[in-house]
Homo-oligomer: A and B are copies of this chain.
């Protein structure tokens, strides 16, 4: 069903009112419908877009790229290939991001293990292994 007030759209999408207005202003979200008095009425389609923007934003896509995707979609079906490639390319970067995050998380866990297993003394290999608590000189 269609027709969400701004506050409702904000609640459902998880974006702030200001962010919704901002996304429309910069042309990320297409012009939102209005009441006779000029107040926004968000549709299910708008909400669908917001879900997508949240996905892309959470995975680190810059706004400029999201806007490019949105503009392509507005141009019609003939841009489907380019949109797919844009998403595929982004997915590759997300995979890299996930690998890096996992690697640094492992590193972090080792550092925590160091604290748990060494209540007092500080080993000489601390800095050579990059694992120790990096206590200052």
Contact = CB atoms under 8 A, between A and B. Distances in A.
A90 to B, nearest CB: 7
Interface string A52-94: 1011101100000000001001100100100110011011001
Given A43-B137, A112-B91, A130 B70 contact: no
Interface residues of A, number: 54
Nearest to A111: B87
From DSSP, what is the main secondary structure of chain A's interface residues? Answer: helix
A39 to B, nearest CB: 19
Given A45-B137, A130-B52, A108 B83 contact: no
Nearest to A51: B130
Interface of A: 30, 43-45, 47-49, 51-52, 54-56, 58-59, 70, 73-74, 77, 80, 83-84, 87-88, 90-91, 94-95, 97-98, 100-102, 104-105, 107-109, 111-112, 115-116, 119-120, 122, 126-128, 130, 132-137
